Amino acid sequence: MADSVDIIEVSARDGIQNEKTLLSTDTKLELIARSVEAGLRRLEVTSFVNPKRVPQMADADELVRRLPRGRGVSHIGLVMNERGFERARDAGVEEINFVVVSTETFNQRNQGVSIAETLAVWPTIARLAREAGIKAGVTLGATFGCPFEGEVPLEQTVRLVEAVAAERPHEIALADTIGVASPADIRRKATAVIAAAPGIPLRCHLHNTRNTGLANAVAAIESGVRRLDASIGGIGGCPFAPAATGNIPTEDLVYMLDRMGIATGLDLDGLIDTAHWLGRELDISPPGMLQRAGRFPPAPHAASAAAE
């Protein structure tokens, strides 16, 4: 197993994009600031997409311009086309995450174009990102299953990986967008992708829709993945996927990894506090378990001994 794992916080992007409550820019900035205070250093903060389709991301340009810089923090903006990249670049992101969905139907619903059209623009975006000094990664959405077409063959995943790897993204992410994967699915595809794109770090974006998210995170780590997405409180979901539910909760993931002896460098109490705060701001009860149960409490005799 790994000695450490990097966690990418996505609550400010994937977390809130499917919520009915629209957070103000100031509240989003506070969410990001709280995440940084808890030790997170890579954060997906927004999507540069059509605000009519995703109104929760309507303030993307202003949000990024107002972000404090420094402290080794890298802010990631999701983009789907060249116009989105230009907005992200001009706003000042340090990284972009380009998305290709793994099936034709879902790619059309998510991005309004075919997979071939999406792949055709990727070399241009990769070149523009290099020229601007911006790291460019690629996420393959719905890698493990599609709500419209069902299972995604391994061969399709490898084909897409090979297509995007030609431009040497700084990482490739496999997304279980609708939360259908099992640990066996994660191992099979992660192993194949690592073989198909040697030297390119692999990241996993997992959802807990069917309560397999944390088990899948362990399977990903066992397969060689060292970068995992998570969302404080476990909020999130794709607005273009029926019955979409949340990401794996950051605090639950950190608790599990801590117990496994895998370092994350994150402040668990700060994450739990932020999950409570975010639930109040969204007027929801976040699905994460740790923010309800709390840390593993000390045995009564241990607490008494400590007091003495």
**Residues with catalytic function:** 238
Provide the token pair at 211: 């309560």
With CA atoms as reference, report the closest residue to 229 among 57, 99, 66, 70. 99
In degrees and rounded to multiples of 5, residue 69 shows phi and psi of -110, 165
Cβ partners under 8 Å of residue 301, min gap 6? none
Distance CA 207, CA 170 (A): 23
- What are the E-state strand segments in 3-82? 6-9, 42-47, 74-79
Cβ partners under 8 Å of residue 159, min gap 6? none
Exposed / middle / buried, residue 69 (Cβ in 10 Å: 0-12, 13-18, 19+): exposed
In degrees and rounded to multiples of 5, residue 18 shows phi and psi of -115, 10
Sign (positive or negative) of CA dihedral 149, 153, 155, 159:
positive
Distance CA 130, CA 169 (A): 10
Q: Are 228 and 203 spatial neighbours (Cβ–Cβ below 8 Å)? A: yes
Distance CA 306, CA 308 (A): 5
